[in-house]
Chains A and B, each alone.
Chain A
Amino acid sequence: MSREEVFERLHEIFWDVFDDEDIRLTDATTSDDIEDWDSLEHINLVVEIENQFGMKFTMGEVHEMKNVGEMVDIIIERATK
């Protein structure tokens, strides 16, 4: 799975979770950049990513995700395991 493919799918997930198709993700995007990205939406986001990508993260991985770029890194790493 390429980085571009992951970004493409992540955009769909973010648009759905936050109900906002104006969201544009970059490696540096964090919760500070998306107004509704609070602790509950973070859970909803992780659950949706796990379901859509068919993978389960560990609690540690979720805590380590500092921005979308790191999220993408973990998804690619898990997808290739």
Chain B
Amino acid sequence: MKEYRFEEISLGLSESFQVEITREMMDKFRDISGDVNPLHNDTEFAKARGYEDRVVYGMLIASQISTLGGVYLPGKYCLIHGVEIDFARPVYIGDKLTISGTVKEIHESVRRLTIKFVIRNQTGKTVSKGILKAGCML
């Protein structure tokens, strides 16, 4: 886990990590969220609507932004204030995602960081992007 302190953070500081989306993650997310929508749970339903397979929950992908802030940037002393996220392309089970974040704004007066993030799949296509607003407690 990264342990950036506020004064150690500069504009342009970047961190990234990778994660593979598994069937088990989908099952756990369905159980936790209660979202039983067939687009995420029924392959035939999803294919009938033009997708390759059932589509990974957008909010499961968004959960990786919790990891980006809480584990990587700034890491241990993170307090997430808000997230804005767009889902640009579908993600499927087995996709290997790279989550990258870069510090775009530093507001020392309120110890707030604005971090732009992008999530790409194994082919390099952007599947998601957005902004993480996070405090750094130390």
Binding site for B on A (CB under 8 A): 40, 42-44, 46-47, 50-51, 56-59, 61-62
Contacts and interface: CB of A to CB of B under 8 A. Distances in A.
B2 to A, nearest CB: 22
B112 interface: yes
23 contacts: A40-B82, A43-B81, A43-B110, A43-B112, A43-B135, A44-B81, A44-B82, A44-B133, A46-B110, A46-B112, A47-B105, A47-B107, A47-B110, A47-B114, A47-B133, A50-B107, A50-B109, A51-B105, A56-B108, A58-B108, A59-B108, A59-B110, A62-B110
Interface of B: 81-82, 105, 107-112, 114, 133, 135
Contact of B109 (A40, A44, A46, A51): A46
B5 to A, nearest CB: 15
A57 B105 contact: no
A62 B133 CA distance: 19
Q: By CB atoms of chain A within 10 A, which of B82, B107, B108 has the most? A: B107
Contacts of B135: 43
Nearest to A48: B107
A61 B81 contact: no
B81 A40 contact: yes
A8 to B, nearest CB: 23
